[in-house]
């Protein structure tokens, strides 16, 4: 009889998982299984396999990092190493592009009257980007919001060896100047086009920042203020911000291309909202249709599996993960993964020491005793690290789920 009652209790808890939304950390935070058996019964995960995934994260080429896993609304795993911990606000680098995109998705719904064509809206106009005039290239007039958010606006890729992709075939591009934090708006608009809008994919950070400039014009709010209203307050985030400070430089505007700084369990809250189709408690914070577009190839980008700032697995190229999985990476080894069909959210932390410097945000980062903290293993004598790629970590954790 005791076994039957216990089983019924577990079934009742599991049945209500879809209606669970965690309170803020200040109000108690995520629910957690008490042991490996409960993690298996309630959250459907094999803790031993999650430990293996963590060891892979720990051995990746990153100075700091961690792994936070949410399964069926349970915080089943939380471990950190190096400078990482729950109360820190690291520079999440390009992981922030995903937040910019989702904010744009909310904007498209809230301001339909201003943007009746949605993602098809041509944005290089006096209404949306007066700063861009006179246009430097006549092809800019054909750039649509969907192009900016799918990295197919034609803006030149970044780095010393940029590349472009046309229908799956990569080609080298000439290096060009990228964003300048002293003038992130102006420098983004000055990046040249390597091709016409829609004709090729190239990972170019100015594109999502220009989308954030459009958001600023349409909503009348800075990107952080819009994110605070639409996501941070209803989801109960703790202190968060953007990395706006670089020595004596204070950026005039938050960079829509990245450098958002959330605490680990709040990054997981954002991912959990996406996994629930944009719902949070009794509110639809994010349009469900927009989230679905992040998980599939779009006409704006037929060149590479990258839609609305997220890489997706629609074609099943990541063999060990469901096809509805999507994720956004950031320099230094950050990645936020969402797998709706498994009710699974994974936040992989990384970062060089500089990304964990609180001077970037000027937000206090008190020490904490949440989760576990380990010392990363010393690198091998030849200086090489084991290569656990972003997709491989996703596969390992998907394989830890019990279906």
**Neighbour-count burial of 229, counting CB atoms closer than 10 A to its CB (0-12 exposed, 13-18 middle, 19+ buried):** middle
Model confidence pLDDT, tens digit, residues 125-159:
999 999 999 999 999 999 999 999 999 999 999 99
How much is the CA Rg of the chain, to the nearest whole Å?
21
Model confidence pLDDT, tens digit, residues 29-69:
999 999 999 999 999 999 999 999 999 999 887 889 999 99
Look at 349 and 10; give whichever has higher pLDDT: 349
The residue length of the chain stands at 403
Predicted confidence (pLDDT) at residue 297 exceeds the cutoff of 50? yes
| Domains, the chain | 27-95+224-398 (3.40.710), 98-219 (no CATH)
Distance CA 99, CA 101 (A): 5
139 DSSP assignment:
G
**What confidence score (pLDDT) does residue 276 get?**
98
Tokens representing 40 are 């298996």
Predicted confidence (pLDDT) at residue 384 exceeds the cutoff of 70? no
Model confidence pLDDT, tens digit, residues 322-379:
999 999 999 999 999 999 999 999 999 999 999 999 999 999 999 898 999 998 766 5
Instruction: Using alpha carbons, list the distances in angstroms from residue 176 to 96, 105, 129, 130, 173.
Output: 23, 30, 22, 23, 9
Predicted confidence (pLDDT) at residue 16 exceeds the cutoff of 50? no
**What confidence score (pLDDT) does residue 376 get?**
74
The pTM assigned to this predicted structure is 0.94
**What confidence score (pLDDT) does residue 62 get?**
85
In the chain, what percentage of residues exceed pLDDT 70?
Answer: 93
19: Cβ–Cβ under 8 A, 6 or more apart, which residues? none
What is the distance between the terminal CA atoms of the chain, rounded to a whole angstrom? 27
Q: Count the helix, strand and coil residues of the chain and give each as a percent rounded to the nearest 5.
A: 35, 15, 45
**What confidence score (pLDDT) does residue 17 get?**
54
**What confidence score (pLDDT) does residue 387 get?**
56
Average pLDDT over residues 95-107: 98
């Amino acid at each position: 009889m005791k076994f039957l009652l216990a089983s019924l209790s577990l079934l009742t808890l599991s049945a209500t998982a879809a209606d669970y939304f965690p309170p803020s950390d200040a109000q108690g935070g995520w629910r957690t299984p008490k042991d490996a058996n409960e993690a298996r019964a309630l959250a459907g995960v094999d803790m031993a396999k999650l430990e293996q995934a963590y060891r892979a994260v720990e051995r990746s080429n990153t100075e700091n990092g961690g792994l936070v896993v949410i399964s069926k609304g349970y915080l089943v795993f939380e471990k950190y190493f190096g400078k990482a911990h729950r109360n820190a606000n690291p520079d999440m680098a390009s992981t922030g592009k995903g937040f910019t995109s989702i904010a744009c998705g909310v904007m498209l719904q809230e301001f339909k009257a201003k943007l009746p064509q949605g993602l098809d809206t041509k944005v290089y106009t006096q209404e949306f980007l007066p700063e861009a005039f006179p246009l430097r290239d006549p092809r800019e007039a054909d750039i649509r919001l969907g192009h900016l958010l799918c990295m197919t606006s034609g803006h030149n890729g970044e780095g010393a060896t940029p590349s472009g992709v046309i229908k799956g075939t990569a080609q080298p591009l000439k290096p060009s100047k990228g964003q300048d934090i002293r003038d992130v708006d102006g420098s983004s608009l000055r990046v040249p086009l390597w091709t016409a809008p829609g004709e090729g994919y190239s990972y170019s950070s100015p594109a999502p920042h220009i989308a954030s400039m459009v958001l600023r014009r349409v909503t009348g709010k800075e990107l952080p203020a819009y994110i605070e209203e639409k996501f941070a307050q209803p989801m109960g985030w703790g202190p968060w911000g953007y990395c706006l400070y670089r020595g004596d430089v204070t950026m005039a505007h938050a960079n829509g291309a990245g450098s958002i700084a959330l605490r680990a369990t709040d990054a997981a809250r954002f991912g959990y909202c996406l996994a629930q189709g944009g719902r949070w408690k009794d509110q639809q914070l994010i349009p469900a249709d927009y989230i679905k577009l992040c998980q599939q190839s779009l006409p704006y980008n037929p060149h590479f599996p990258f839609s609305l700032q997220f890489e997706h697995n629609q074609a099943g190229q990541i063999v060990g993960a469901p096809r509805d999985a999507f994720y956004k990476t950031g320099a230094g080894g950050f990645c936020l993964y969402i797998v709706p069909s498994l009710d699974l959210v994974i936040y992989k932390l990384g970062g060089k020491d500089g990304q964990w410097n609180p001077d970037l945000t000027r937000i206090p980062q008190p020490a904490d005793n949440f989760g576990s903290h380990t010392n990363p293993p010393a690198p091998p004598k030849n200086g090489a690290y084991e290569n656990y790629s972003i997709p491989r970590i996703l596969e390992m954790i998907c394989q830890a789920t019990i279906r």
